[in-house]
Amino acid sequence: MCKKMTDRHHTDETTMAYINLYAVLGALENLVQVDEEAKALIQNKKISVGFSVAGGPSASLCFDHGNCTLKNGVEGCDIKLPFSGVKKFNGMIDGTVTPIPSRGFTKIKFLLKDFTKLTDILTRYLRASEQDLEDPEFFEKSTALMFYTIVSAISQIGNHDSISRASASYMQDGIIRVAVAGGPVASICVKNHWLVTVKKAPKHPDASMEFGSMQIARALFDGKVNSLACVGTGDIRMSGMITMIDNMNRILDRVGLYLA
């Protein structure tokens, strides 16, 4: 599974579980769109894996002939993995806990072989080495996958992290377009101070934040440049309801603590 290290003193296990399911494992949706090896692993498969976490998230990854979709709930999933708590689920992501299916035990080969391979490929992109990033094509794919992971994490942190809930409480209803110029785009939808990330462009955004290039986005994700400085140089362009973006950026500042 995707190995991660986080500073547990500044993070919350429940928030981490939501990020791990919706942002990290959720990035498998995008992985099979950009990586041929990953797509080939599920090209002839139609199977779903459900993750049911007591006191935490519940969702299923549905693999269907080369496509992957993350859906809320575990009803009807082929393989069901129950977890007694958020720490156990986070342990699976860290590679310290081996889950035991409560349903679909006869399909465990998919879990042990293809699914593990998928998460290994994803980890290579999300934990890219400097050497891998020298390949321009790999750099683009890795940065796009990081983008989708981060914008998905923003909603989970805004909804569940106690510090970020304060920022979310100031956000009015509306949609923020987050994009990389010439690259990936997503929507962060706010309703009643609850955030939902949709991995496609909004038709009528109320606010917009766009990174000037994949290189700028990457440097920001890696903490090599300051976002305020990038606004000053025009490498980040903002428009619309700036207060929405300001509060979203306060949440974004905490993403690094969880995805470090």
- Please count the other Cβ atoms lying within 10 Å of the Cβ belonging to residue 189: 17
Q: Average pLDDT for residues 1-28, to the nearest whole number?
A: 78
Same domain, 94 and 195: no
- 118 and 185 together in one domain: no
Last residue of a domain, one of 108, 127, 146: 127
Structure tokens at 178: 């987050």
CB 260 within 8 A of CB 20: no
Residue where the block lists tokens 């290039």: 213
Looking at the domain assignment, is residue 1 inside a domain?
A: no
Distance between CA atoms of residues 177 and 118, nearest Å = 29
Q: What pLDDT sits at residue 69? A: 98
**Contact 238/163 with Cβ under 8 angstroms?**
no
Task: State the residue range of the domain holding 188.
Answer: 154-259
Same domain, 113 and 175: no
CA separation for the pair 160, 164 (Å, rounded): 8
- Characterize the bridge pairing of strands 174-180 and 207-211: parallel
Residues 66 and 29 in one domain: yes
Pair 123, 162 in one domain = no
Residue 8, pLDDT > 50, answer: no
Residue 152 makes CB contacts below 8 A (sequence gap 6+) with: 19, 22, 23, 26, 27, 186, 197, 199
How is residue 25 annotated by DSSP? G
In the predicted model, what is the mean pLDDT of residues 136-143? Answer: 97
For the chain, the C-alpha Rg in angstroms (whole number) is 18
- Residues 191 and 112 both lie in one domain: no
pLDDT band at 119 (very low <50, low <70, confident <90, very high): very high
Same-domain check for residues 170 and 110: no
- Read off the pLDDT of residues 39-82 as tens digits, 9 standing for 90 and up: 999 999 999 999 999 999 999 999 999 999 999 999 999 999 99
158, 220: one domain: yes
- Check whether residue 200 and residue 245 sit in a common domain: yes
C-alpha–C-alpha distance, residues 149 and 19, integer Å? 9
Tell me if 96 is assigned to some domain.
yes
CB 24 within 8 A of CB 2: yes
Residue that wins the pLDDT comparison between 6 and 117: 117
**Is the same domain home to 73 and 118?**
yes
CA 158 to chain centre: 13
Strand-pair partners of 64 = 46, 67
171 phi and psi angles, rounded to 5 deg: -85, 125
Tell me whether residue 5 is in a domain. no
Domains identified in the chain, total number = 2
pLDDT digits (tens, 9 = 90+) for 219-247: 988 888 877 788 888 899 999 999 999 99
Q: Does residue 143 lie in a domain region? A: no
| Section 150-172 average pLDDT | 97
CA within 13 Å, CB half, 104: 22
Write the CATH number for 76: 3.30.1050.10
